[in-house]
Structure 1
Amino acid sequence: MESDGRSARFWPSTGLLERAVVSSSQYETYGPGHPAHPDHPYPEPYAYGSPDTYGYPDTYLPAYAHASWPSDAATLPRQAVPLAPTADMPSPADPSTDPSADPFAGPSVPGGRAEARRAARRRRTAERPDVRKLLPQALVVAFLAGGTSAFVADDKAVELTVDGRPRTLHTFADDVGELLADEGVRVGAHDVVSPTPGTALDSGEEVAVRYGRPVRLTLDGQRSTVWTTARTVEEALREFGVRAEGAYLSVPRGRPIGRAGLALDVRTERAVTVMADGRARTIRTNAATAGETVEEAGITLRGQDALSVPAGSFPRDGQTVTVMRITGTKEVREESIAFEVRRTPDPGLFRGTEVVERAGEPGLRRVTYALRTVNGVRQKPRRLRDEVVREPRTQVVKVGTKPLPMSVRGADHLNWQGLAHCESGGRPAAVDPSGTYGGLYQFDTRTWQSLGGSGRPQEASAAEQTFRAKRLYVRRGASPWPHCGSRLQG
């Protein structure tokens, strides 16, 4: 046995040489005409290569025919393949034409019988088994047998199920993750592997991979995206904990869920109470809207009838929906529009005096109201629209700015406060029950205006009323106040 893992054996009965190359698991066989054969008549001095067991270099070994070994050393075959001599080496003598020719002796050389005897001794020596030569060959067989045992021990039979498709295979992987990598099975964050990827593998292990699938779920009006390893809609509903009995499903329960996922709309069965016409009806429904729920309860909406919740809203479990029976009419009303008052300063009038130059006139508006009754109860009128029939006319008032004189000769020394207290209780805006007299001194309108006053006396300031009363006293004395005039003197 050499360092490169090769051994050789010569078989005299066939004239062939077998060489086992352990490193490549092959036999290489040579015939008598090959330079590596022990009986070659012209051994050549090779320039490179290490000698083999028989003293010949192994340089030519890969160049000649050989037979491959299988992996199991216990069944290694041996096949001898004689090689025809090449053109650059001499051919052995042919016994059919030369009876004295020996196929192992090579061509005739000088020496006669002595040389023949030496050749016979060489043949007997070659036929004798050599323990030193057989030992390396036995070691090779033992090495291969041990390697085969280890090979068989590392091989594991496992069952791999990928997304529901099982298959049995043999593997040398040490753990689940290595097995998946060897089989090209890629898993993501939403996939489930059982047992976990770090679990050690034993023969007979069952490994399951379930791929995650996105489901765009709308459950009772609430939208979300959830991941599942379920392969059908029914399995996914169980995984989500959704009660499917009596529920509406947008797709059949048995529909498969592909790797790309699907959109699923689920409306579970709910208990909803409908109040209408003084009666309550509780039904179980998977309707999508409150309007559909009212229809399922056998209630018909007419005219202006409405619901207590938006008709398109989602009905919740335990919710009460009230039907409002509405009747309504329209009513047109005429309303007055107040006029504006515009005041302009007038230096010809005493301060505190206002004179209406142009009387204002209110406008007229026509308003349309909606009158409704809900379940027999009249509601507050609702204003629908309005239009102006007549625009209001602005009132123009002149406002005096002239300073008011406080003194009237012949009347300043009198007790005007006492007179005012007797006539009106000292109130400038006082008016008698008949509406004829007004102010501190109870002027009638005609007398007031004859004294230079404007409007009505009770609308003027107290100072102006006293000034006008003094002027009246100068004209007529105390006669305009027959009951209280005496107060002027005291």
Structure 2
Amino acid sequence: MPGPRDVWNHVNRTTRIAGLAARATAPLTALRARRTSRQPGGSGSSRARLIAGVAAIAVLATGTAVYAQANKTVTLDVDGVASTVTTYAGSVDGLLAQNDVTVGERDTVVPAGPLRDGAAIVVRHAHEVTVMTDGVQRTVWTTALTAAEALETLSSRGADVQLVASRSTERRSPFLALELTIDGPARVQVDGTTLTAADGSTTVAQVLDQLGITLGDLDTVAVKPAADGVLVVVSRVVVQDVTTTAEIPAATVTQDDPALVVGKKRVTTKGVAGVRTVVETVTTVDGVETARVPVSDVVSQAQVDEVVRVGTKPKPVAAPAPAAPAPAADGSPVAAGGSANSLNWAALARCESGGNPSIVSSNGLYHGLYQFSVGTWGGVGGTGLPSQASADEQTARAQMLYNRSGASPWPVCGKNLFS
């Protein structure tokens, strides 16, 4: 808007005109004096002097007219600040040079060329503004003085045009310093609501201050065209590092074990899941994520693979139970035959008695390594109590029992014979 009117390089007309007036009146006074004291016989000389005086008066009058024509009073408007200037410059370029107004190749001067009295010279310096047009951001030059004027000028570049700037460049951003001229209240859209500032021509920064809106370091401000003028839009921008973790499942490694029967497995190393830690820089605008940039991706805890040993030993095949051999004449046990010797009798004993040959069940009915009943013990040629016999005798008579009846005498633990 126009600033105070003042005069730049003002010329003191009184001094210069007084000098010219003194030079003009001196010949006239001399001429009158000569006419009063004129002598007879000097008419030729007097006439010559009179002609010379008239000529001097004519020259003086012509100079005064030229002086009056060269002196001009014009209006000089530089970026909206208008001043009345008195000058003798004959051209607009001379006027600008006289008033220290520098003009670049992007600036505008209207009109240009010769300078006439009463002319209005308008100078607009170009400056850069950041423009978002149809989603594409770029920097352009404009000579507009107001945000509304800049938007109107730039509207030919696209249907969706707006002026943008961030808080970090607020003090340098041209459009925040532009006058925000609105026919009515200024409206600001911020934090999900629309606020209205008081009527009047003001700057974008002043509107924000008036409404008590504080900008964060990364917040952005945009000025968009609206039906009733312009709309100022403040966007809250947050950039932060976000850390997430993910589980890395443990793998399973199998190893053959010839000591285990086929179908049997044994875990020798318990698996432990690992941890993967990812750090990303996430940008949100008004709470909506707009960008995610990876920063780091590391394994913060290595996984431990589970190791499982798998049996490869063939399962034993149970032979048919032969008829029980007759005991020896002296009552000693008869060695078992068949395949009973290849079975895992130690595993059966651990299951039945914990491997204790002298153990007796709590009810007193079952004795020894293989928990013989007294009747079964006697059936395979044993005498006395099984728990009082040696471990070897107990095993031999258990093998005899197996050769006769298979693993059925041990319905729970009999399967261990084949482990």
Whether TM exceeds 0.5 here: the answer is: no
Q: In terms of Rg, which structure is larger?
A: 1
Q: TM-score, normalization: structure 1?
A: 0.31
Q: Which has the higher contact order (CA 8 A, sep 6+)?
A: 2
Q: TM-score, normalization: structure 2?
A: 0.35
Between Structure 1 and Structure 2, which shows a larger proportion of helix residues?
A: 2
